[in-house]
Amino acid sequence: MHLLAVLSGVAFMQLPAFRGYIRLTDVEKLPIIERLREEGLEGEEEMTLVIAGDLSARNIRYNIKVLGAKGKMFLTGTSVYHHPDGIKSGIDALKLAIEAVYKDIVEIEELKEYAKSLEERGLPLLRALEER
C-alpha cells in the first residue's frame, strides 16, 4: 500500500510508531521501510513517512534509531497534551528524549538515569517516563 501510494504521487504517508500499541505490529513495519528503501522512494525527494500514533518520549528515540531522522516527520499529540505537568513540560520531555538519541541513549532505564543526571532540567522527561 505504501509503495503504491508513493508511486501514485502521495507526498506524506503515516506509519504508526515502533514500540507503540497501534497496528501495524513492529514486525509488519520493517518490510514496508525496506521495500520503500529498495526503490529509493522514502524521504526527502519522494514520500515522507510521517511517524505518528502512540509516539512519545518513551519511544521516539527507538523510532529515530530504527528509521533515521532524515526524510521523516515525527508527530506527537496526546503524549504532549497529557503530560502530568502540562503542555510545555510535554514538549520539554520530547526535546530531552530526542537529545538523548544523539547521546546513544535508547532504552527506558538508561533514559531515566539520563533524566535524573540533568537534575531539575530533566524533570519533565522523568515525569513523562513515569506515566503509563
Question: Could you give the number of structural domains in the chain?
Answer: 1
Give the E-state strand segments of 18-132 in sequence order: 48-51, 72-74
The answer to whether residue 28 scores a pLDDT higher than 80 is: yes
Question: Domain limits at 28?
Answer: 2-130
Query: Which of 31-40, 74-83, 108-117 holds the top average pLDDT?
Result: 108-117
Kindly report the pTM of this predicted structure.
0.79
Per-residue pLDDT, 39: 80
Please report, as a single letter, which amino acid is at residue 68: G
Gap between the Cα atoms of 119 and 122, Å rounded: 5
The answer to whether residue 9 scores a pLDDT higher than 80 is: no
The answer to whether residue 13 scores a pLDDT higher than 80 is: no
Q: For residue 118, what is its C-alpha cell?
A: 540533568
Per-residue pLDDT, 131: 67
CATH number of the domain that 98 lies in? 3.20.20.110
What's the pLDDT tens digit per position in 43-86? Answer: 666 777 888 888 999 999 989 988 888 878 899 988 899 999 99
CA 106 to chain centre: 12
